[in-house]
């Protein structure tokens, strides 16, 4: 899959272009402002923001009722309608306030510049929640066929930070909801990733929220549980190894990590191997 044309000049140039995109948004005159009907405005489906705090939207809505929209939306003509480049939160609050139209700047930008504006809106805003940020990174990587390393260079974050942020999307859906609402921190979420069972993830997330457990306490609690489980497993394996050694009359070791493991049985001569084989086969009779 070839990289999208918008980033064809390379990541370094793209970083420099970020400043040019900001200039595009700011380079407007008063006469450029138009009042656009809300019915003709469509949110951008590629927008990273999926969760809008209802309380804050209502607060903004009340402010709009009293003072109007202080910062115009930035739109792009899309057939008979207009696509939001910047300002979806203002758009939603304006609808709640009962406005029929809003002040907007219509930008006649190329698809390439529109893509860059969208990318900056998606992943470089400070007010995205962790899930929105993760969705933004993932969608940009897919859209432009970027590696984590290339994206990390473009946005000035470490590759590890990008990878860990995207991994959050693997959490249980209920835990993801807590993150979107702000009930759970990103640091807590990253610790919860070490719990593979999603039901247990959710239960632990509830416990963190209800108890107000700190990140340090949560990490200690989860690691303690894991150590206890591993200790039980080690006792079982050691007992099994010792029993096999006694039955076979030779040294036995369990080896390997992950899904594939091995049993290693030592023998010291052909006669010794024959004896061990006879012992094993006799046990199957």
C-beta of residue 89 within 8 angstroms of C-beta of residue 43: no
Closest CA to 169 of 179, 161, 160: 179
Helix (H) or strand (E) holding 66: helix 54-67
The residue annotated as part of the active site, out of 23, 46, 88, 230, is: 88
Cα–Cα separations (whole angstroms), residue 171 to 166, 176, 244, 284: 10, 6, 41, 45
C-beta of residue 189 within 8 angstroms of C-beta of residue 219: no
Is 270 among the residues known to form the active site? no
**CB contact set of 96 (below 8 Å; sequence gap of 6+):** 57, 58, 61
State the Cα–Cα distance between residues 25 and 213, nearest whole angstrom: 43
Token pair listed for 36? 């656009």
Q: In Å, how far from its chain's centre is CA 65? A: 36
Query: CB neighbours (10 Å) of residue 191?
Result: 19
Query: CB neighbours (10 Å) of residue 157?
Result: 17
Please identify every residue annotated as catalytic: 88
């Amino acid at each position: 899959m070839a990289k999208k044309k918008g980033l064809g000049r390379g990541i370094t140039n793209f970083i420099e272009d970020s400043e040019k995109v900001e200039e595009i948004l700011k380079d407007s005159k008063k006469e450029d402002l138009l009042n656009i009907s809300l019915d003709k405005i469509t949110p951008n489906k590629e927008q990273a923001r999926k969760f809008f705090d209802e309380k804050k939207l209502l607060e903004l809505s009340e402010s709009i009722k009293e003072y109007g929209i202080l910062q115009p939306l930035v739109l792009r003509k899309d057939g008979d309608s207009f696509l939001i480049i910047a300002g979806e939160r203002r758009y939603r609050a304006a609808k709640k306030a009962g406005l029929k139209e809003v002040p907007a700047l219509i930008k006649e930008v190329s698809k390439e510049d529109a893509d860059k504006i969208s990318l900056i809106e998606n992943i470089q805003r400070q007010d995205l929640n962790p899930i929105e940020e993760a969705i933004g990174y993932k969608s940009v990587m897919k859209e432009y066929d970027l590696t984590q390393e290339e994206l990390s260079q473009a946005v000035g974050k470490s590759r590890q930070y990008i990878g860990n942020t995207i991994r959050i999307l693997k959490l249980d859906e209920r835990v993801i909801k807590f993150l979107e609402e702000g009930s759970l921190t990103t640091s807590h979420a990253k610790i919860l990733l070490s719990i593979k069972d999603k039901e247990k993830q959710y239960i632990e997330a509830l416990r963190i929220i209800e108890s107000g457990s700190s990140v340090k306490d949560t990490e200690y609690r989860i690691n303690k549980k894991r150590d206890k489980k591993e200790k039980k497993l080690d006792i079982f394996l050691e007992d099994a190894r010792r029993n096999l050694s006694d039955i076979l009359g030779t040294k036995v070791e369990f080896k390997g990590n992950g899904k594939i493991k091995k049993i290693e049985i030592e023998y010291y001569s052909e006669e010794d191997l024959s004896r061990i084989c006879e012992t094993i086969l006799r046990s199957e009779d």
